[in-house]
């Protein structure tokens, strides 16, 4: 039933159904703190304060992640929140190697999510929606370099080029598995492409992570706490690396025998 009114650009629009309200959230027209009015009541309430809408959003196939709700449950204050994804550079490097580059995707997601909620004040929703847009991904690198709390104004650095090279390296890493079967690449060529792409991707992230860490150190922030996504990415990445090694080792043995 269409019964929720909302405001956009100074205009009152609607009525909209719960499904349409969810679509408006995904399209950045509304967020969880936007005010809507039920046609049966003259009172304007935040979306998060309406049980029916919250129940619909939580039960929907499209899971909308609400950082405001997560922060309240965890008791995290804004002054305690670390800036972007704060972790030691050495940990980023060895996790990238251990997961065959998959952890770097989680790294980008964590920084994208921080920008989304803490800088744009939006609901952190569909990462994969932006992941299909290379300009949106590179924009994360650019916004990290320009962020005021990280000292962006006092630095001439711009990580946009790092972002483009990072995307290229991960595409090369993913494409090599296709080329192995399509072009029957020799095992040494396959290994060379993979190691070169993985090395390039890590080198692209190191200066960005150093910049993030320097800003956090200056602000007295601690390291980001591991989440379920952190552990899940490591497990899946290790399994992926094991599969790759499982194809390399027999081929290398055959080459040497």
Q: Does 127 lie in the same domain as 177? A: yes
- Quick one: average pLDDT of 127-144? 88
Q: Does 211 lie in the same domain as 87? A: yes
3-class DSSP state for residue 98? helix
Task: Report the Cα 154 to chain-centroid distance in Å.
Answer: 26
**Would you say residue 151 lies in a domain?**
yes
Question: Please, which pLDDT band fits residue 62 given cuts at 50, 70 and 90?
Answer: low
For residue 41, is pLDDT > 70? yes
- Positive/negative CA dihedral, 158, 222, 81, 70: positive
In the prediction, which pLDDT does 14 show? 78
Tell me the per-residue pLDDT of 204-242, one tens digit each, with 9 for 90 and over. 999 999 999 999 998 888 899 898 999 999 999 999 999
Q: Does 247 lie in the same domain as 131? A: yes
In the prediction, which pLDDT does 64 show? 67
Return the percent helix, strand and coil in the chain, to nearest 5: 65, 5, 25
Q: Does 89 lie in the same domain as 56? A: no
Split into its structural domains, the chain has a count of: 2
User: For the chain, how many residues are written?
Assistant: 257
Question: How far apart, in whole angstroms, are the C-alpha atoms of residue 195 and residue 183?
Answer: 19
Predicted structure pTM score: 0.79
For residue 171, is pLDDT > 80? yes
In the prediction, which pLDDT does 65 show? 62
Tell me the per-residue pLDDT of 10-32, one tens digit each, with 9 for 90 and over. 888 878 888 888 888 877 788 77
Question: Please, which pLDDT band fits residue 154 given cuts at 50, 70 and 90?
Answer: low
């Amino acid at each position: 039933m269409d019964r929720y009114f909302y405001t956009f650009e100074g205009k009152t629009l609607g009525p909209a159904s719960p499904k349409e309200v969810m679509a408006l959230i995904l399209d950045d027209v509304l967020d969880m703190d936007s005010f809507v009015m039920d046609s049966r009541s003259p009172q304007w309430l935040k979306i998060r304060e309406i049980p029916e809408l919250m129940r619909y959003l939580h039960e929907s196939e499209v899971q909308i992640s609400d950082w405001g709700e997560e922060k309240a449950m965890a008791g995290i204050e804004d002054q305690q929140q670390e800036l972007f994804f704060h972790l030691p550079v050495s940990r980023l490097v060895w996790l990238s190697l251990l997961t065959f580059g998959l952890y770097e995707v989680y790294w980008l997601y964590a920084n994208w999510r921080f920008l989304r909620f803490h800088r744009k004040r939006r609901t952190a929703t569909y990462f994969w929606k932006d992941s299909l847009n290379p300009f949106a991904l590179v924009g994360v690198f650019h916004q990290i370099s320009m962020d005021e709390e990280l000292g962006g104004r006092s630095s001439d650095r711009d990580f946009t080029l790092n972002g483009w090279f990072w995307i290229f390296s991960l595409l090369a890493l993913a494409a090599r598995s296709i080329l192995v079967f399509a072009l029957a690449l020799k095992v040494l060529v396959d290994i060379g492409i993979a190691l070169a792409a993985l090395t390039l991707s890590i080198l692209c992230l190191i200066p960005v992570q150093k910049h993030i860490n320097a800003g956090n150190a200056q602000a007295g922030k601690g390291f980001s706490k591991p989440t379920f996504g952190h552990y899940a990415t490591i497990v899946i990445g290790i399994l992926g690396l094991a599969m790759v090694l499982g194809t390399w080792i027999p081929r290398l043995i055959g080459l040497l025998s």
